[in-house]
Amino acid sequence: AQSVTQLGSHVSVSEGALVLLRCNYSSSVPPYLFWYVQYPNQGLQLLLKYTSAATLVKGINGFEAEFKKSETSFHLTKPSAHMSDAAEYFCAVSETGNQFYFGTGTSLTVIP
């Protein structure tokens, strides 16, 4: 069975500081992994996805994530936080296309 765990439902960082949002997954086969961002009153927008090519995946808005099979992790990072990064972030895993399993989300606050 697949599942996703996002450690930390709330993360606060100072503007310009490193952003690290954690995601661990469980999957019986090599999975497809995704990070989505949700701004207030909007739907989810894809940040990046891992599909078994490079283990370091670069996404939009300066975000990137590294797939670590040994740790079953897919943490999201950004070197320098901007105020506009404040949003809800969701990690998701998929083995088959129709079934996405989402984590409970991490709310990112950026402190000026």
Partner 1 sequence: ETGVTQTPRHLVMGMTNKKSLKCEQHLGHNAMYWYKQSAKKPLELMFVYNFKEQTENNSVPSRFSPECPNSSHLFLHLHTLQPEDSALYLCASSQDGLAGNEQFFGPGTRLTVL
Q: Which residues bind partner 1 (CB under 8 A)?
A: 4, 9, 32, 34, 36, 41-46, 49, 51, 90, 94-105
* DSSP-assigned letters across all residues of 28-92: SSPPEEEEEEE-TTS-EEEEEEE-SS-SEEE-GGG-EEEEETTTTEEEEEESS--GGG-EEEEEE
Least distance CB 16 / partner 1 (angstroms): 30
| Residue nearer to partner 1 on the CB measure, 14 or 45 | 45
| Residue nearer to partner 1 on the CB measure, 5 or 72 | 5
Least distance CB 61 / partner 1 (angstroms): 16
